[in-house]
Amino acid sequence: MLSDLYTRRALVWAFANRDFATRYRASVLGWAWSLIQPLATLIVFAAVFTVVFRIQAPPLGNGNGSSYAAFLFTGLVTWNLFSSLLNLSMSQLKSNGELLKKVQFPAWTPILGASIVQLVQILLELAVLIAMFLYLRNVGWTWILAIPILIGALLFSQGLGLMLSIVNARYGDVQYIVAVVLGALYFLTPVLYPMSMIEGKNEILGWIIRLNPMSWYVQAMHDAMYSLVAPSALVIGGLLLGGFLTFWAGFAIFNRWSEDIGEML
């Protein structure tokens, strides 16, 4: 599997180049859009949830009060990583369908190419998040732990994306189901609210949220970036291992199912 990824890296890179070059080619503001979008979401959500719902964010790691906007953005960045890779992966087979029907090449190459470009967007959002925490003077060594957490999240999302994209190529309903499930899952992940609002108050809901793998990635990011608390080694190891296993399974299922991709599309 790894050797496959390695030998086809040039093609993955060629697709990444194509998507990178064309992503915002027709727009005036170009890459600025990739920041305007999440920032607009942040402003709207932060306004609604602090003013209307009066959600109280947990205290910052530096002990200087709390910031709901920073708390929310930490979760948003992690969630966006997940949902954008999922959606992007699912759309790639359709948008490269003409090509896949005519030339023989591994169908996962355009998917990984698109994800590489999305990675740039994710890094931009992370840079904004870091700038935000620097402004709040909320800095700690636990930030380093964000790297394994995010790598785990990337692998997990990509693995799931590969799996869903190939199932979706066969059964066109999957993308609609995924849209519905993602919509629900968003609220079952502690992005908009801290876990402390649920724990001890609604045990059943708490369990449902804990069953959602994305909750673990988001919470670990909250710990490392916002609260400046190190998640336990067990959690970090689990998140990494879960990511690797999901990616491995997704890649294997994708390869098994995509042998007849030329006929499925």
* DSSP type of residue 106: -
Give least dist CB 195 to another protein, A: 34
* Chain positions contacting another protein, by CB under 8 A: 10-11, 13-15, 17-18, 21-22, 25-26, 98-99, 101-105, 170-174, 259-260, 262-264
Q: Residue 98: CB partners within 8 Å, gap ≥ 6?
A: none
* DSSP type of residue 226: I
Structure tokens at 123: 């890094």
Read off the amino acid at residue 157. S
Cβ closer to another protein: 173 or 204?
173
Cβ closer to another protein: 97 or 206?
97
Structure tokens at 107: 């169908």
Give least dist CB 182 to another protein, A: 17
Give least dist CB 86 to another protein, A: 18
Cβ closer to another protein: 42 or 107?
107
Contact between 102 and 27 (Cβ < 8 Å): no
Give least dist CB 15 to another protein, A: 8
Contact between 166 and 93 (Cβ < 8 Å): yes
Closest CA to 192 of 37, 69, 36: 69
Cβ closer to another protein: 99 or 205?
99
